[in-house]
Amino acid sequence: MPPHRAAAQEALEEAGVAGKISKKTVGSYWYDKAFERGLAVRCKVHVFPLRVTRQLKAWPEKRQRRTQWHSPSQASRRVREAHLREIIRTFVKQQKEEG
């Protein structure tokens, strides 16, 4: 499965959102994914913009997650990963410049 399709699938499973996913990444960052028993694995995350066109009432991980909608500037302040915050800020700035 191409990376952008995998990202769209994850958005559907984790947040119940679907829409048009870009094939082009807007950035990437590394983080340590923690597992049970203290094991951690270094992972690289590629970020793809998704224009959400619908949100499902039920999705696979609904009981494991809490969703909230935020403006891009609010989202960049609430995200824990510093690199992801910067990706969001840069993406928003580029969108404003494009029109």
User: Residue 94 has which token pair?
Assistant: 């580029």
* Fold classification of 3-98 (topology level): Nucleoside Triphosphate Pyrophosphohydrolase (3.90.79)
User: Residue 37 has which token pair?
Assistant: 């028993």
| End-to-end C-alpha distance for the chain, whole angstroms | 32
Q: What is the distance between the alpha carbons of residues 75 and 25, in angstroms, rounded to a whole number?
A: 18
pLDDT digits (tens, 9 = 90+) for 20-49: 999 999 999 999 999 888 899 999 999 999
pLDDT digits (tens, 9 = 90+) for 51-76: 999 999 999 999 999 899 999 889 98
pTM: 0.86
